[in-house]
Amino acid sequence: MSYTVAGTLHTDPRISEAKALLIEAVKEQQAKINGIRPGDPKLKMHYNQALEKFGKLRGANLWYPYLGSGLGKGPFVELLDGSVKYDFICGIGVHYWGHSHPDIIAASIDAAISNMTIQGNLQQNGDSLDLAELFVKASGMDHCFFTTSGVMANENALKIAFQKNAPANRILTFEHTFSGRTYTFSQVSDKPLLRDGLPSNLCVDYLPFYDPKDPEGSTKRAVATLKKLLARYPKRYAMMIFELVQGEGGCYPGSHEFFKPILEILKEHHIAIVADEVQTFGRTPQLFAYQHFKLEEYIDIVTIGKVSQVCATLYRDEYNPRPGLVAQTFTSSTTAFHVSKVIVHGLIHDGFFGPDGKIKKIHDHFEHRLQEIAKRHPGLIEGPFGIGTMVAFTPFGGDAEKVKKFTYDLFDAGVMSFIAGESPTRVRFLLPIGAVTEKDVDAVCKIIEETLLKN
């Protein structure tokens, strides 16, 4: 067999030995992380000073007093004050394999001895080819364009759809959607604070989203609103972009029966259908949420991020843009490419998907435990409880200040969560599926119940 010089380097037994030694050293220190623990009093002053300094540098305090030490163990993460917490939010969903996973460390070492830290459109290594093939095959799309963030994947989808359907100048989405914080997508995301003080630069119209308490009625309302808008602005819509599970909006899933009639109308009017899977990719009982909801035939463009590490816009051949429309100096780090291949390959091949897959089993177990809490304490919390590794509940009737305080109290008790939605405000979790176990879920639910009862 013939190798490039790089191939010879990567097959050098010293590289394998070095990786094994490094992982062994990490595991020795990880053995000291066996559960949540409070911070070390000797580190408290230095830690508080570091938090204050960072807050001044960034112009605002961190949401949580969180500065990581750089080490963790699966669902556990150590902070610079020596405390250890259950990380059940994972950087809003990025750290899907948990902390300091040996396979991720090994992939990162391979990336570290590669020739460049950042890959881009002018110079990409074979890593890009491998990952593009993986995404295209798994998605059923024809093309894959890598980018630096989820919202930039959405920006590229927007440009592709506008170019294809020119001169259309409007887009559609659902109420309570979140598609990012760039100037353009602050006009799309249904959160007024994101566009406070910004002049409008995009024409956006909203449809009501699925209501699990009124499936048939909410479907009829969404279809009626869509038909009314299409009559008002004939041939002016280039695309509809939407989340199949609204993450920032409160972890609310839609349904096949809700989406299908809407997407059929969009197809009839030749409007591009864009699935924003930046948060849902890899988190439902199928790799893509549109696959879980059996909507493959309708989707023209799909955007991914977070779990995928490397963000991307995937699209069908008919939407392949003309040269020059999409290009970026940077696509992602070499480390992100290596890690992405490990995570996505593991998701596809290691029993995570389907009715008996780990994602569904962990979700069902978490939901069951939350339902038990609701039963023991009527009125304290309520569902719906999300889908897959996107788990959420509504405490205290969804009162924004009480829910926010609860997340801080939960953080102090050793569990990291986050808020989502408005009216009601909810608590959400994005689970580290590569590391989390039912035992971890039980321990977290015990802390959730104890913390709820203290409020």
**132 conformational bin, left if phi > 0, alpha if psi -120 to 50, beta if neither:** alpha
Other beta carbons within 10 Å of 23? 18
Residue 1 pLDDT class (50, 70, 90 cuts): low
Please write the tens of the pLDDT for every residue from 353-411: 999 999 999 999 999 999 999 999 999 999 999 999 999 999 999 999 999 999 999 99
Please write the tens of the pLDDT for every residue from 358-368: 999 999 999 99
Please write the tens of the pLDDT for every residue from 39-91: 999 999 999 999 999 999 999 999 999 999 999 999 999 999 999 999 999 99
Q: What pLDDT, on a 0 to 100 scale, did the predictor assign at position 433?
A: 98
- pLDDT cut 70: percent of the chain above it: 100
Q: Where are the domains of the chain?
A: 15-103+354-454, 111-349
Please say if the pLDDT value at position 18 is more than 60: yes
Please write the tens of the pLDDT for every residue from 248-294: 999 999 999 999 999 999 999 999 999 999 999 999 999 999 999 99
Q: What is the Cα–Cα distance from 314 to 118, expressed in whole angstroms? A: 21
Please write the tens of the pLDDT for every residue from 167-223: 999 999 999 999 999 999 999 999 998 999 999 999 999 999 999 999 999 999 999
For residue 440, give the H/E element and its range: helix 438-454
Q: What pLDDT, on a 0 to 100 scale, did the predictor assign at position 206?
A: 98
Going by C-beta distance under 8 Å and a sequence separation of 6 or more, which residues neighbour residue 129?
Answer: none
Q: 263 or 7, which is more confident? A: 263
Q: Class of 15-103+354-454 per CATH?
A: alpha beta
- Just give the CATH number of 111-349: 3.40.640.10
- Specify the DSSP class assigned to residue 327: -
Q: What is the Cα–Cα distance from 145 to 155, expressed in whole angstroms? A: 12
Q: What pLDDT, on a 0 to 100 scale, did the predictor assign at position 311?
A: 98
